[in-house]
């Protein structure tokens, strides 16, 4: 049984006498600081030879509903003015000790020995069997049994912490942990052969090649790229490439033109509609 407690309960007295069979009692004044949940314990005739412990099951104004003779105390008559105090009882300490002993003997709070030995091969069935309630008498049943994969490591992991093949890294897989070789990602080219070109969102991280015998103007649009994104460009024809903003977007750099045929540069978005040009510039 859960009992409730308060650290701010104020002593009270009986407002009228009760007999040994009374199931309600009247307090002299409205209770102050009593627990808001039930039951809780009061001692009537506190610290006297006639002290009795009662369980309070309800409070209405100055009237309390009580279960008599709690924790082995004797129901008896109490006179007007009997001191009433909210107390902790021997039963509280006994219940705590019983709970502690159950944890030691039935594994309610811990596992002794090897966890692997205790569980055996992990399955939804034996997990439900070994997880018990606080008294050690019930079990936790999964609504849907969990799928448990045994960890598997492929490759060789030495105690010194050596890695797998050059460039590999450890990653979780459907069956455990394995050495993984990073996928190779090739740059995508966007060849342009006109004398003007305005970048588009799909040019992000690509190499835009610009080839024409005449001069070429490359425009950086506004409201397309975000901070940290980049586009690579290269002049592969004789026509020199000039980079410009669209009137809203602006850019900085040591120059606005690629220096010569096969010169390359990177356009980096450094802020909203703000760019910088880095590379082989004229």
Q: Where are the domains of the chain?
A: 12-88, 107-157+168-183, 189-279
Is the separation of the CB atoms in 82 and 44 below 8 Å? yes
Could you read off the pLDDT of 174-227 as tens digits, one per residue?
A: 666 677 777 767 789 999 999 999 999 999 999 999 999 999 999 999 999 999
The pLDDT of residue 163 is 54
Q: How far is CA 75 from the centre of its chain?
A: 51
Tell me which residue has tokens 């703000």. Answer: 274
1-38 in b/e burial notation, b at 16+ Cβ within 10 A? eebeeeeebeebbbeeebeeebeebebeeebeebbeeb
Q: What is the tens place of the pLDDT at every residue in 42-101?
A: 999 999 999 999 999 999 999 999 999 999 999 999 999 999 999 999 999 988 888 777
Mean pLDDT value of segment 22-45: 97
* Residues contacting 116, CB < 8 A, separation 6+: none
Alpha-carbon distance 2 to 40, whole Å?
A: 9
Segment among 21-25, 45-49, 156-160 with least mean pLDDT = 156-160
What local confidence, expressed as pLDDT, does residue 2 receive?
Answer: 87
Q: In this model, does residue 104 exceed pLDDT 60?
A: no
- Best CA proximity match to 255, nearest among 235, 228, 227: 235
Q: Looking at the predicted structure, is the pLDDT value of residue 155 above 80?
A: no
- In this predicted structure, the answer to whether residue 23 has a pLDDT above a threshold of 70 is yes
Long-range pairs of 88-93 with CB within 8 A, sequence gap ≥ 24? 88/5, 88/41, 89/41, 89/53, 92/3
Residue 95: predicted pLDDT: 86
CATH of the structural domain 189-279, one choice from 3.30.70, 2.60.120, 3.40.50, 2.30.29: 2.60.120
At 102 the pLDDT is: 67
CB-based contact 201:225 (threshold 8 Å): yes
Quick one: pLDDT at residue 162? 47
156 band by pLDDT with thresholds 50, 70 and 90: very low
- pLDDT band at 16; cut points 50, 70, 90: very high
């Amino acid at each position: 049984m859960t009992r409730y407690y308060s650290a701010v309960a104020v002593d009270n007295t009986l407002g009228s006498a009760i007999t040994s069979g009374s199931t309600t009692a009247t307090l002299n004044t409205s209770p102050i600081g009593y627990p808001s949940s039930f039951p809780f314990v009061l001692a009537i005739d506190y610290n006297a030879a006639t002290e009795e412990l009662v369980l309070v099951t309800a409070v209405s104004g100055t009237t309390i509903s009580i279960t008599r003779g709690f924790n082995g105390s004797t129901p008896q008559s109490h006179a007007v003015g009997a001191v009433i105090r909210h107390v902790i009882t021997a039963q509280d300490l006994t219940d705590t000790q019983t709970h502690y002993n159950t944890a030691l003997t039935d594994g309610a709070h811990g596992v002794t020995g090897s966890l692997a030995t205790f569980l055996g091969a992990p399955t939804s069935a034996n997990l439900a069997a070994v997880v018990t309630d606080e008294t050690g008498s019930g079990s936790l049943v999964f609504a849907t049994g969990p799928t448990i994969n045994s960890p598997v490591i492929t490759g060789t992991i030495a105690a010194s912490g050596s890695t797998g093949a050059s460039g590999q890294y450890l990653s979780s897989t459907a069956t455990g942990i394995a050495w993984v070789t990073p996928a190779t990602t090739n740059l995508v080219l966007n060849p342009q052969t006109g004398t003007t070109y305005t970048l588009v969102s799909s040019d992000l991280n690509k190499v835009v090649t610009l080839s024409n015998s005449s001069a070429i103007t490359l425009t950086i649009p506004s409201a397309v790229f975000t901070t940290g994104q980049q586009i690579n460009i290269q002049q592969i024809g004789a026509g020199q490439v000039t980079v410009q903003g669209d009137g809203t977007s602006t850019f900085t750099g040591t120059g606005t033109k690629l220096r010569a045929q096969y010169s390359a540069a990177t356009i980096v978005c450094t802020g909203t509609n703000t760019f910088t040009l880095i590379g082989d510039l004229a």
